[in-house]
Every structure is written in C-alpha cells, then in structure tokens.
C-alpha cells in the first residue's frame, strides 16, 4: 500500500499496548506483524500535515516551513509552556491558544529511561506516556492551563530529568521505580517553591493528586537491540527488516530502529 505516514495510533488494554500504523487512509495492525519482515520505501514526496501542500522538507514533524512559522502549535512555547506569551497579546493564534492551552493539564512522573517529570493535556492520557516509551506513569497534579503545568514542571525539573533518553529507552525494560514515594519526596522537597506558585493562583487551578495509582505499561517487544542503530529514510529511502518489537513511536527491526513520528507526512510504500 502507499500513502502519507502518520504517527502510530495506540491503545492500552489491560496494561498492554496495541499499535496501528496509518498510511494514507489505511490502518495496519502492527502487533500482528511482529516476527515478520516488513519494508518501507520513501517515494521522495512530503505533504504538510496542516495545509496538505507538497514540501521539500518537513519541519517540527510534518509541517511545511510556512505553517511552521505561522502556527501557534509550532511556537517554542509548546515545547516550553512556562514561556507562554498569550497574556502579552502575542500568541500567533489566540483562538487556538484558548482552546488548546486553557484546558486541564497533568503534571506526571514517568519511568522510561529512568524517572522523569512531564506534562500532558488531560485528553492525552495515556497516549503521551506510551509515545515516550514509559513503562510506569503517575499523575501528580491536575492544573487549569498549559502554562501552569509548565511552571510546576520547571520546579520539579531542578531535581529530576524532564527528558527521555530514547537510546536507553530502546535498550530494554526499565527497572521498576516506586513513583508514589518519589512523588511524595519531590513535593516535600519543592514545597516552598510550590507554595509561592500556589499563592499566585486560585486554589481551584491546582490540585495535588494523592489518590492516583501507578499505570503500568507493557510493549509488544520480542527482542530489544543490543546496539541502537537509527535508520534514516532521508539518507536511505528503503528501510527493511524483521519487526522485533514496538516501543514509544519506534519500530525495532533487526536492522535498526526507526522513529515513525519523525517521518509524519512522508509518502511511503509499505
């Protein structure tokens, strides 16, 4: 089949992740293909995921340059929510910002390549955790806006990582961590800074989640790579191998690993 590639769709059922790969209008059930040979061939065409125009280069995982510099969802404040400039009146798309950024967000702890802190919209649980390859996740705060979630994340990130090492994540199953204990330790450690932030917001804007339980996530992987070798369709348009597993947004082949999300909008033959 042939069509534009999109990020893999995921579903968590009884702790196990199932994957589907969208290619054009088709959906491929990838779990059924583990242990079998697969092949991608990049045709050389890229379509912007926003305006659907052809582009020679993809920016920010699927956008043409015009959309990349115009859209609010491509602004730096999406990567660093604490820098939100909506209140200054300089949001690229105020209506989009109101719909996207002023909705409930979670601050969470996850274990992917080790413990990390992260944020996500309430509608992206557990998708965000799966996309990062987390084997455990625990929501710790629910807040009223994206900027507020970013401000709390920055406080926690002084003490634990806010990034995932994708190479380490793909090398195997992370060692289990007591996320509830780590949550309590971090909240206590950051109490003064958290209180100072709380004093500038209404109490209804920030809720500490003390009754949440850890979500455990299992990925369909038969064999992890001994050495992580990244496959690049821009350099070699044909990617083929035995599908040995799927984790995060990566396919693990016996020939290397490929980040599907990186090639959003690329037209491929499968």
Q: SS3 for 49? A: coil
Distance CA 232, CA 14 (A): 34
Distance CA 90, CA 78 (A): 14
What pLDDT is attached to residue 270? 96
Q: SS3 for 257? A: strand
Distance CA 24, CA 4 (A): 5
Q: Which residues are CB-contacts of 192 (< 8 A; sequence separation ≥ 6)? A: none
Pick from 101, 97, 96, 99: nearest CA to 119: 101
Distance CA 68, CA 189 (A): 39
Contact 120, 78 (CB under 8 A): no
Query: In terms of C-beta distances under 8 Å and separation of at least 24 residues, what long-range contacts does 85-92 make, across chains too?
Result: 86/147
Name beta bridge partners: 38.
241
What pLDDT is attached to residue 172? 87
Q: Does an H or E element contain 189, and which?
A: helix 179-189
Distance CA 172, CA 252 (A): 11
| DSSP secondary structure letters along 105-119 | EEEEEEESSSEEEEE
What pLDDT is attached to residue 173? 81
| DSSP secondary structure letters along 18-86 | EEEEEETTEEEESGGGTTSEEEEEEEEEEB-TTT--B-SS-BTTTB-HHHHHH-GGGSHHHHSGGG--G
What pLDDT is attached to residue 159? 96
What pLDDT is attached to residue 51? 97
What pLDDT is attached to residue 185? 97
Pick from 165, 207, 166: nearest CA to 187: 207
Encode the chain (270 residues) as per-residue pLDDT tens digits.
999 999 999 999 999 999 999 999 999 999 999 999 999 999 999 999 999 999 999 999 999 999 999 999 999 999 999 999 999 999 999 999 999 999 999 999 999 999 999 999 999 999 999 999 999 999 999 999 999 999 999 999 999 999 999 999 999 888 999 999 999 999 999 999 999 998 999 989 999 999 999 999 999 999 999 899 999 999 999 999 999 999 999 999 999 999 999 999 999 999
Rounded to a whole number of angstroms, the CA Rg of the chain reads 20
């Amino acid at each position: 089949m042939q069509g534009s590639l999109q990020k893999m769709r995921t579903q968590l059922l009884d702790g196990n992740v199932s994957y589907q790969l969208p290619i054009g209008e088709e959906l491929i059930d990838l779990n059924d293909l583990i242990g079998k040979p697969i092949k991608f061939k990049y045709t050389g065409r890229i379509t912007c995921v926003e305006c659907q125009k052809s582009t020679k280069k993809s920016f920010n995982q699927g956008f043409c340059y015009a959309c990349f510099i115009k859209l609010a969802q491509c602004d730096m404040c999406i990567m660093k929510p604490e820098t939100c400039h909506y209140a200054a009146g300089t949001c690229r798309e105020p209506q989009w910002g109101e719909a996207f950024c002023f909705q409930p967000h979670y601050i969470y702890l996850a274990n992917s390549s080790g413990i990390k802190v992260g944020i996500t919209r309430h509608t992206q649980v557990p998708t965000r955790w799966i996309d990062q390859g987390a084997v455990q996740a625990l929501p710790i705060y629910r807040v009223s806006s994206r900027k507020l979630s970013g401000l709390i994340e920055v406080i926690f990130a002084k003490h634990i990582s806010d990034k995932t090492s994708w190479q380490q994540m793909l090398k195997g199953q992370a060692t289990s961590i007591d996320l509830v204990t780590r949550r309590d330790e971090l909240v206590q450690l950051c109490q003064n800074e958290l209180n100072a932030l709380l004093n500038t917001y209404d109490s209804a804007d920030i809720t500490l989640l003390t009754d949440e339980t850890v979500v455990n996530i299992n990925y369909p992987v038969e064999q992890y790579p001994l050495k992580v070798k990244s496959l690049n369709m821009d350099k070699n348009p044909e990617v083929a191998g035995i599908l040995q597993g799927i984790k995060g947004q990566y396919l693990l082949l016996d020939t290397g690993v490929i980040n599907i999300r990186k090639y959003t909008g690329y037209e491929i033959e499968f």
